[in-house]
């Protein structure tokens, strides 16, 4: 069985369209999108600089497709056309899972993994990382108190971080991050060899912040749209 293909589309809306974009969140929470080959999807709002303050201009639609064929026609779907209304600019990443563990609403939507796309099987190229967690209510204050520290660690790696955004389905409680890194070596440096990030990960275990969590790492197959020009440039030079 082939592994799924994931699309991550970031929509930046014009001011007059932001109320409708916010209303779409409620619509998609009540009724998920239906398209041929669509296995899993989430429409998520964003926070400014990974923080608590909502950014009503920016939303992210994540979709898991059965295969490349369905992913390649995403821009022609009813879902895409609905979300595209009132957009100032947008961009889409096409990803293939490399590694994943954990659950999202009781399932892992990024399985199965194709060994052809596992780390070490591809030329050095941009890599995407997704983290998603449901935070225990008793841990909300403690969790958000440490977010500025985690955010600073990302800022310390700006040379290797090509894109990053904090998003979620429900404010405060459901949190998700998507980051695109120049290479797998850059991720290893950030996650395992530099102090700061490791300590925060340890805190999540010690203080049991999460009721549910998921981690996934992806190969970036392609990037479309001016929003992802930096990623396109890196891919063109590899």
> In this predicted structure, what is the pLDDT of residue 121?
53
Give the mean model confidence (pLDDT) for residues 202-208. Answer: 80
Distance CA 72, CA 58 (A): 23
- The two tokens of residue 234 are 């890196």
Chain centroid to CA 202: 22
128-140: pLDDT as tens digits:
999 999 999 988 8
pLDDT of residue 123: 57
Whether residue 162 has pLDDT greater than 60: yes
Give the domain CATH number at 107.
Answer: 3.30.70.100
At residue 106, the pLDDT reads: 95
Please report the pLDDT score of residue 224 as a whole number. Answer: 95
Sign of the alpha-carbon torsion through 32, 176, 104, 184: positive
pLDDT tens per residue, range 142-161: 888 877 777 777 777 678 89
pLDDT confidence band for 192 (50 / 70 / 90):
low
Q: What is the pLDDT of residues 62-120, one digit of tens each?
A: 999 999 999 999 999 999 999 999 999 999 999 999 999 999 999 999 998 876 666 65
The tokens of 196 are what? 């700061």
Provide the domain limits for residue 25. Answer: 5-237
What is the number of structural domains in the chain? 1
Question: For 20-41, what is each residue's pLDDT tens digit?
Answer: 999 999 889 888 899 999 999 9
Coil, strand or helix at 181: strand
pLDDT computed for residue 172 by the predictor: 82
With cut-offs at 50, 70 and 90, classify the pLDDT of residue 3: confident
Gyration radius from the chain CA atoms: 17
Distance CA 214, CA 82 (A): 28
């Amino acid at each position: 069985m082939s592994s799924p293909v994931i699309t991550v589309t970031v929509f930046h809306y014009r001011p007059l369209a932001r109320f409708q974009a916010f209303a779409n969140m409620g619509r998609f929470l009540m009724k998920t999108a239906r398209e041929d080959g669509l296995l899993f999807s989430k429409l998520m709002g964003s926070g400014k600089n990974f923080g608590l303050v909502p950014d009503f201009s920016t939303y992210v639609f994540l979709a898991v497709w059965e295969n490349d064929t369905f992913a390649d026609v995403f821009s022609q779907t009813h879902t895409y056309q609905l979300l595209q209304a009132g957009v100032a600019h947008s961009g889409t990443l096409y990803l293939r899972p490399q590694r994943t563990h954990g659950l999202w609403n009781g399932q892992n939507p990024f399985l199965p993994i194709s060994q052809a796309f596992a780390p070490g099987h591809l030329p050095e190229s941009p890599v995407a990382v997704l983290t998603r967690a449901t935070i225990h209510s008793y841990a909300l204050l403690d969790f958000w108190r440490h977010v500025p520290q985690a955010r600073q660690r990302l800022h310390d790696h700006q040379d290797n971080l090509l894109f990053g955004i904090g998003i979620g389905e429900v404010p405060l409680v459901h949190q998700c991050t998507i980051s695109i890194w120049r290479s797998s070596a850059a991720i290893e440096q950030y996650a395992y060899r530099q102090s700061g990030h490791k300590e925060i990960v340890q805190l999540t275990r010690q203080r049991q912040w999460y009721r549910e969590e998921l981690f996934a790492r992806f190969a970036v197959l392609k990037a479309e749209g001016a929003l992802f020009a930096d990623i396109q440039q890196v891919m063109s030079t590899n």
